[in-house]
Amino acid sequence: MNSSMEIREGRESSCDFSRALEILRDLPLFSGVSLEGIKVLAYLAVAESFSAGEVLLGQGEKMDAAYFLLDGEVAVSRRWGDTEKHLYSREQGAFLGGLGLLAPAKSLFSVRAVTDVCCLVLGREKFLKTAERFPGMLPKILGNVVEHVFRWEENFVRAHAEECVDRSSEMGLTLF
């Protein structure tokens, strides 16, 4: 690593607060959350780098942080038995693992860095401690999650109408 790169990194992380604030404010998950709360989340979020090939999140691992891709590319995959199947890639601006902030669920997918990746990482503990202190925060986020789930199922049933009728017993996530 050359010296100019190192200096750039140091500077970059040192101006992260305002950038982190902008990023979090634009995320649908945090839509409607008060600025005071978002400020604290942005302040607590940390920029982390991952080298190409490194696993950000492994299938079956507890999700305990959310990642916003500042730079680089990640691949999302899932293992069925012994075979690992690549599902899709995500680039700068993608947000992954938001649900992991709310509860320590085990990830159904693996997320791996394809190139060197820089992420803004917000850990669950930090998030929950902040949410505890801003009582309006969790209901807003929960509302956003519900909205997302409804939108997802609506799009799904619309796009796969026939399949849905065949596998009707598996439908109805939004009726949970």
Partner 1 sequence: MKLRPDIPGAIYKRSLFSWVWTSNLKLQGSLLAIIVVTVFVRVLPLEMQKKIINLAIGDKRLDLLLRYCTYYLVCVVAASGLKLAINSLQNYIGQESLTDLRKQLYAHILTLPMSFFRKASPGMVVSSLVSEVANTGEFVGQAIAVPVTNLLTLFAFAGYLFYLNPLLALLSMALYPVAVLVIPTLQKRTNRANKKRVDTGRNMSTRIGETIAGIQEVHGNASFRLENRRFGAIADQLFHVRVIWNLYKYTIKVSNNFFQNLGPFILFLVGGYLAINGRFDLGALVAFLSANEKLYDPWKELMDFYQVYQDARVSYGRIMEYFEGDPEFLMEPETPRPPAVLDGRVSAHELVLEVGGGIQLLKGVSLDIAPGQMVALVGFSGSGKSTLAMSLCQILKYSGGSASLSGLDISAMPKSDVADNIGVVSQHPFIFAGSIRDNLLYSLNARREAHGITNEAGLPTLDELIAVVQQVGLFTDILRFALNSVFKKGRKENLVKKIIRIRQAYQTSHGEALADSVEFFDPARYLYYSSVAENLLFGTPEQEDLAPENLAGNPRFIGFLHDCGLKMFLLQVGAELANRTVDILKDVPSPEAIFFERTPIDPEEFEDYRDLVGRLGRVRLHKLPPEDERRLLTLALRFTPGRHAIVTLSPILEGLLLQGRAMLAERIAADAPGAVTFFRREDYLYSMTLMDNILFGRVKSSNPKILDQIQKTIVSLLIEEDMLERVLEIGLDFQVGSMGDRLSGGQRQKVAIARAFLREPPILILDEATAALDNASQARIQNLLETKWKGKSTIISVVHRLDTIVNYDKVAVMKAGRIVETGTYAELMERQGVLHELVHGNPGRA
Give the residue from 147, 26, 7 showing the smallest Cα distance to 93.
26
Tell me the number of residues near partner 1 by CB under 8 A: 34
Nearest-10 Cα torsion for 19, 21, 25, 29: 100
Residue from 130, 131, 140, 144 that binds partner 1 (CB under 8 A)?
130
Residue 2 tokens read as: 């050359």
Judged by beta carbon, residue 81 or residue 135, the one nearer partner 1 is 135
Of the candidate spans 55-63, 94-102, 150-158, 162-170, the one that interacts with partner 1 by CB under 8 A turns out to be: 55-63
Phi, psi of 28 (to 5 degrees): -60, -35
Nearest-10 Cα torsion for 126, 132, 138, 140: -100
| Binding track, positions 11-50, relative to partner 1; x by CB under 8 A | x-xxxxx--x---------------x--xx--xx-xxxx-
Work out whether 51 is an interface residue with partner 1 (CB under 8 A).
Answer: yes
Judged by beta carbon, residue 28 or residue 172, the one nearer partner 1 is 172
In angstroms, the CA 64 to CA 41 distance is: 15
Q: Which of residues 60-99 bind partner 1 (CB under 8 A)?
A: 60-62
Residue 144 and residue 32 in contact, taking contact as beta carbons nearer than 8 Å: yes
Q: Give the binding site for partner 1 (CB under 8 A).
A: 1, 3, 6-7, 9-11, 13-17, 20, 36, 39-40, 43-44, 46-49, 51, 54, 60-62, 121, 125-126, 129-130, 133-134
